[in-house]
Amino acid sequence: MNKLTKGLTSLAVSLTVLAGGFLSPFTAPAQAAEMAVKVQVNDDLIHFPDAQPFLDGNHTTQVPLRFVTEKLGYTVNWQKDGNQIKVTLNNDNHTITLVSGQKEANIDDTTVILDGASQYQNGRVYVPLRFLSTAAGVPVQWDASSNLAILSKDGEKHAPDYQVFESTAYSADPSENGGYGAIDYMGNPLAIGTVAVDPSVIPLGTKLYIEGYSFSGLPKGGMYVYATDTGGAIKGNRMDIFIPGSRKSLQSFGFQKIKVYQIPN
């Protein structure tokens, strides 16, 4: 059976629990809707700058099409037709076409049925992750502990690409910032998304994704941050997260273990 036939056959197969503790990323449990869904291709976490993966009303993982398919080696072209978007994906082997709002797509000359209709939201087309993985012939594994789908473009098994850090919180109080007030080491105003790191562990200027914290002053589920600050006590796998508020109000943050993912340039 060739790769395309395998992919088309697997579209009709309902994936349930995979071996080794991996769960299906395609139909997630309801409680996962509150968690941030992430996608990794081989060892690289995909950065979604303005559109995030989400679980639709059927708890199917929908992902922004362009960011994922470009990582998988496809060129993306689209054409607007009224309220719908027609998308054409090409690589050296296949041409894939689909229209937003529809549950059908074409892989070369074969029509397939998606788990859910592709969607057009805020200038981005979303499609079910199952469709992309099977249509591209790329195996996917699901790390339930990180809510992370790992697409194996090279066919190898890849681990979630994160490190565990101990985190604390700091404010704009000058006593916590070397007397300089509300600016980071690189001269930028302190804001949500600023973190202090040990530059020997994470180079300054690195974009990161962090999750695992619990504090009302931070975005729920996880957030993108920039390593633009340092601190005398920040050594090794330690991170200080800037949070607006008084120094006293942040004391309850304490010490928290978090997962830190580096975003490739």
- Positive or negative torsion for Cα 245, 223, 119, 24: negative
Hey, how many other C-beta atoms are within 10 angstroms of the C-beta on 93?
11
Structural contact between residues 140 and 212, judged by C-beta atoms closer than 8 angstroms: no
| Residues carrying CATH 2.40.40.10, the chain | 163-262
64-85 pLDDT, tens digit each: 999 999 999 999 999 998 889 9
If you classify domain 3-151 with CATH, what class do you get? alpha beta
Q: Regarding beta strands 163-170 and 194-196, do their DSSP bridges make them parallel or antiparallel, or are they unpaired?
A: unpaired
pLDDT of 180 over the 90 cut: no
Q: Would the pLDDT of 136 be above 90?
A: no
Mean pLDDT within 188-193 = 95
Band of the pLDDT at 202, cuts 50, 70, 90? very high
> Which residues, including other chains, have CB under 8 Å from residue 12's CB and lie 6 or more apart?
none
Question: Lowest-pLDDT range, 5-14, 138-147, 194-203?
Answer: 5-14
CATH 3.30.457.10 residue ranges of the chain are 3-151
Lowest mean pLDDT among 12-16, 33-37, 168-172, 200-204: 12-16
Question: What's domain 163-262's architecture?
Answer: Beta Barrel (2.40)
State mean pLDDT over 123-144. 89
